Every structure is written in structure tokens, then in C-alpha cells.
Structure 1
């Protein structure tokens, strides 16, 4: 099978929380992979050596605001996505003509919309992957909803990671063949349950940004209830974010300073070791005020692939990861008291933790298999695109 020339368009290179993106690029690199990134935030744990990477010039990398944005909308009324101005669009178009990809793969809905604008008329298939907030925030506002609905048919393929995203697109005109549901998956560790230490004091672990959508305050309240029933329990939180100060204050007020550890951002290998040492994974995701929702939370997927039972909320794609009373427990958003009772149930029952953990591993999805499924979808859709395509205008545009 011939290699595809894929241009991956991503907003930045690569933040520690986006390990899923790195795993995808590691599979894509066995094709003829090129990357265009908006910002260079590449973390030292992610090795992209050997992949041609082009970064948007700093002078073109600030979104238009105020009168400049209004004037750009008047001049180019058909344009979608975040507005960076005609100079960036022209620069991006020139890069695409230079690279001459078989397909463009965009991370996040806004990036996909902006890319569609820039390559209009070049007859290059554009695929977009929706990653939680990449769809939920975009369509929370009327203008964003309208832009996306108008553009659905212009994408060669739409890749979703959660069923609610797939259903939203199907209800608005996408065809089943046009939309793929492909969760990220995670690296599988089949021996994880056998190496986990057996103990009576339960070690809880949470991994994620300390932000509104992750609702760390409700998680702390839930743990406080659990800890009042099982005083030996401990909670470790890996991650940082705008709510760290509030989280620390609540820990102090509830007298949990000796029972909760905030470790901040940690490399993937540290997260892996912590998961192999923990007993239960916890996450209290909620829908944020701006509409932001999870897609398919990678941290939960990684915890399951390492044999951890999960206590989480009925939120977005989590319901497709956690099956009630099989590999964990689900509670309603903001219901920290129910979450605390679920945590307490597992804290007091090592046998149930082990049973749920084995089921979590059984239900896990392999990240490499999932990314190869994406490649198969892209190849299949490329066949459809090429049959319906007019002769390419790429050469003239170059």
C-alpha cells in the first residue's frame, strides 16, 4: 500500500495534556507526514525528530479583534473559523501548495474551519478531528453553530471521539459514511492488574487540568466525604490550571492537607507510574459555562488500560468508557455527595476494586489500533473524494 502524504494542522506543538496527539503523529509519521503548527509549545517528552515542521510566523499568529476583525468579515464574508487575516490565509495556502499533500488532517473544529477557508479551490481533501471542546465550545454560540453546519459538507471526513459529537453532526446533515466515531484509545498494559499492590488504605488518583470543566472543587468535596468514612484514604492530583489556588484553599479549609497531594504537571512516564500504584481513578467532569465538554477523556482511557476502576460523572464520552457496576461508578454532574459514597464503597472493598479493574482492562481500546482505524477511514474517504473531484487547481495556485 502506497504511503499517503498527510499534512497535519495543529494549533500548537504539543502540550503535556495532549499526549493523544503525539501518539497519533507517531503512527502518522510512517506515512509521508508534514506538520503545520500555530505555536511551538513542544514539550521535551515528545520527540518529533525527522518530521518536517512549519510554524506560523509570529507576526501572523494573533487572532484579529475589534475593528480589524469586523473589517476582515466585510472583505471576506464567506470565511469561517477564527480570523487571523488575509496574510495568514495566503501564507498557509502557499505552504499547502509547497507541500502538495494528499490529505490535510486538522485537530479541532476551529482549525478545520480556518483550513477550509485557506485551501478553497485547491481540491485537497480536508479532514477534521473533534476533540471535546473543539466541537462543544464552537457550537455553543449561534455564529459558531451556523458556520459549522454550513461547512459540514465541505470536509472530506469528520472524525469524532464521542458519540454525542457524531450524533450532533448526523442530525445536521452529515451522512453516516462521512462521519467516523474513533475514540483515541491508550497504550494497553495487560499485566497491570497483577502488579498492583494489595493494601487496605485506598489510593485515589486524578489526572487533568484544574479548570472549570474538571471541577476539582467537587472532586475534593467528594474525597472529603470518602475520607471521613475511610480515614486512611489518600488522593493524588496530577495537573495544574487556573483553579489551583481555589483547590488548595478548599483542601486547607476541609482539613485535608495531609491526605491530598497536588503534584502539578508531570511527564507521561510519571503519570504511568502513578496509575500503576493507584487503586482507583477519579474524575468529576462537568459542562462548563461556555459550553465546554469533554470528548473521550484520555486520562480515563489510560487509567482503564492500566487496570484501574473509575469513579466519574455521566458526562459526554465518559458514559462510553465507564459502565455502571462493571468497571466503575458514574454519578451526576455536580453531585459530589454521590461521588463520595461511590469512592467510599470502593475504598472499603479491595475485592471489588480488583474485579472492576480487570473489567476496565478488558474494555480498553488500543491507541495504535484506533489511529490505524483513522488512517483506514482517510484512505476510504480519499477514494470517494477523488472520484468526485474536478481537476486540481493546485499547480495554478502555486
Structure 2
């Protein structure tokens, strides 16, 4: 089978999960990736890629961009880009086309009429199935796409799929493809926690953007530290990651008097995240809905922590509840409920919350492993090829 992937940028640190998926398919089938943020043919992380820069045509895209700003029409067109795209598709001869993100799919489908009706899968993940749903012109384009029998949407969680139905978007089938974690890399290595310990370590890993809820964590951690210090316990918090909110969060930490308890560590290669998980007691991932309506999909970071054997505090946000299991080690709080978040931190430190780390590990292996992910994705492909 030949699979053509289309994604804006394959090199970005924020799309590790996409590279993981592509490499899984590449291990079994022939793969080519077309990107629009790079030029010429190249190989990145062992993935064969072709870059076709998408340059906005003055005469065609200036009015289209203006219409998009007015939310009257959402689309793109550049004849030169379309010509190069069609050339690469013809030369590769894909059996299946897989567009990453609904927004990227719009660029692709505006330039590819698909006369031979190759199955085209559109994978929705986060921004493209939350913030962008606030644009009527974008929803209108999706409805047009979904009416084509050769277009097949995929959603990262059941919650995301159901929100799509609420907007009267009608995918041809219910395809839920959870994100996955490499359970061979993130092996089960739980720490022994005891309420008698003098110091406890909290960890949050992720790009420093609003949807990740770092400020929420700081506010709750300040409350938790105040209580823990009053009963003779210490706690520290490490943020791993970078992004536009880094300076704000550093200043917020100082404002809250947390300079000695909060540490900021730059982003690390994905494989090195496990090392941080092995040294922490509790993992934090408080996703929040942003002011402009952005929502996360299903964060891989939570899966990785549960796979290693680290209890997690997260929020009741998007599809995160689908990571819950009976007696598991995932605890959910309401978005921006600082008191509830702080109380959950305290109760974990004091040993007042009961959990079974092995239960969560087994759930990750059964539903969210790379093995499960690739099997289900290939089933989707083959179902449309028969």
C-alpha cells in the first residue's frame, strides 16, 4: 500500500505524535509526506518528504483572505502550488491520502479534485475541531467536504466526534482513533510514595501556551504549598517546555513567592521525557478552554505518565475523561477550580486518594498503545480500499 500524508510542517516539536503515526505506517507500507513549510525533497527523522511552499497568489488569495476575515468564505487557491501538488501525487501514485488537521486538509482539497476518487482521510485533533468551529465559513467548507463519498474524517476522541455531530456535521462513519504512546519506551517503573516522605515532586510537561493551563497550575500549587508547609512537608514543581507564555509564567511564579519551589526547564527530546517522569511523584496536565475557544484533543503526555506509573491530575476537558479506568491513577478537576486542584494535590501527598497504577498501565496498553493505534488506522484504510 502507498500512503501519502499531507501536513503543514513535519519538523515542528509540537507534532511529535504525527511523526510517530507516520513512522508506524512507514514500518509496514510505502510512505511519502508532502509539507508546505519547507522546500524540495528531504528526509527528516527517517521520513521521506517533499516540500511545496504555499505562497499566496496576490490576485486569487487577497480576496479569499479578506472573505475569510469577514467569515464569509474559508478557502485557498494558488495555481502554481496546485500544479506542483498534482505532479507529486501522480508520480507517487498513492492508494490512500491522509491529511493531518482539518485546516491543512482545506489547502490540500482546494487544489486536488481527486478524479480517481482515492480515499482521503482527514484527521481532526484539537485546534481544527474547536477554535475553528467558531468560523461559519470553515464549517460550511467541512460540510461540502463531508458530502464527498471519498472523504473520511477521523477523530481523536469520542468527545470530539460528538461535538462535531452537535454542529450538524455528518461524517460518513464514526471513526475514533486515539492518540498513542510507545509503551516499550515508556515502561512501567512506578515510584514508591509514602505520606511520610519529606518532599514531593510535581511535574508538568508541555508547550507554554494558554490551553495547557500552566497559570492554573501555579495558582493551585501556591495554595497546596501553603498548606503542606504548615504540616511540615515540602513540595516542588518542575515545568518542562517552552513557548510564548514562558516569561509571563516566570514572572507569575515570582509574584506568588514560588521562586524556591518552581523550576523551569527547556524543552527536551521526546525520548528524554521518561527520565523526568521517573524522578517525579505526581504529574499535572490541567488543560483549559482558551478565550478564543481552543480545546485540546487527547494529550499524549497524560498517557505517557500513566504508562510509566505516575499518578496524574488533569481537568474535565475534551476527551481526557476517556482515559479514566476503574481504580486508576487519573484524577480530574474542573477547569479553573483552583481550590479543587490544590486539594487534589494535597490529598495525593497525604495518601488520602486510593489508586492502582497497574490498572492505568494496563488500560494504556489495551487502548492507547502504538500497536493498537496502527492496527486500527490500517483497518480504516483497508475498509475503504475493499
TM bin, normalised by shorter chain, reads: 0.7 to 0.9
Q: 1:360 to 1:83 in 2, by over 3 A?
A: same
Q: 1:325 to 1:332 in 2, by over 3 A?
A: farther
Separation in 2, partners of 1:379, 1:345: 48
Q: Which residue of structure 2 lines up, in the alignment, with residue 372 of structure 1?
A: 375
Structure 2 counterpart SS, 1:118: coil
Contact 2:188 2:307 in 1 (8 A): no
1:23 aligns to 2:20 (yes or no): yes
* 1:185-217 superposed Cα distances (whole Å, 9 cap, x missing partner): 212259955552546222111111111111211
Structure 2 counterpart SS, 1:235: strand
Q: 1:72 to 1:98 in 2, by over 3 A?
A: farther
Q: Which residue of structure 2 lines up, in the alignment, with residue 12 of structure 1?
A: 9
Contact 1:230 1:348 in 2 (8 A): no
Q: Which residue of structure 1 lines up, in the alignment, with residue 222 of structure 2?
A: 224
Per-residue deviation, 1:286? 1.0
Higher relative contact order (CA 8 A, sep 6+): 1
Contact 1:286 1:315 in 2 (8 A): yes
Q: Map of 1:36-75 to 2, 5 A cutoff? A: 36-40=34-38, 48-49=45-46, 51-57=47-53, 61-63=54-56, 68-70=61-63
Per-residue deviation, 1:252? 0.5
Q: Which residue of structure 1 lines up, in the alignment, with residue 107 of structure 2?
A: 114
Q: Which residue of structure 2 lines up, in the alignment, with residue 235 of structure 1?
A: 237
1:156 aligns to 2:156 (yes or no): no
Identify unmatched segments of 5+ residues in structure 1: 75-79, 384-398
Q: Which residue of structure 2 lines up, in the alignment, with residue 260 of structure 1?
A: 262
Contact 1:161 1:295 in 2 (8 A): yes
Per-residue deviation, 1:25? 1.3
Q: Which residue of structure 1 lines up, in the alignment, with residue 312 of structure 2?
A: 310
Structure 1 counterpart SS, 2:147: helix
Segment of structure 1 superposing worse, 134-143 or 30-39: 134-143
Contact 1:189 1:306 in 2 (8 A): no
Contact 1:162 1:296 in 2 (8 A): yes
Separation in 1, partners of 2:340, 2:244: 26
Separation in 1, partners of 2:186, 2:52: 43
Q: Which residue of structure 2 lines up, in the alignment, with residue 90 of structure 1?
A: 83
Q: 1:233 to 1:189 in 2, by over 3 A?
A: farther
RMSD over equivalenced CA pairs, Å:
2.7
Normalising by structure 1, report the TM-score: 0.84
Contact 1:63 1:82 in 2 (8 A): no
Q: 1:33 to 1:81 in 2, by over 3 A?
A: farther
* 1:331-356 superposed Cα distances (whole Å, 9 cap, x missing partner): 1111122111111111221x857x34
Contact 2:191 2:310 in 1 (8 A): no
* 1:152-194 superposed Cα distances (whole Å, 9 cap, x missing partner): 132532111111221234453535x623101012122599555
Number of residues paired by the alignment? 365
Per-residue deviation, 1:19? 1.9
Q: 1:119 to 1:261 in 2, by over 3 A?
A: same
Separation in 2, partners of 1:97, 1:116: 15
Separation in 2, partners of 1:39, 1:278: 37
Identify unmatched segments of 5+ residues in structure 2: 68-72
Structure 2 counterpart SS, 1:202: strand
Q: Which residue of structure 2 lines up, in the alignment, with residue 386 of structure 1?
A: none
For 2:348, which of 337, 346, 349 is the aligned residue? 346
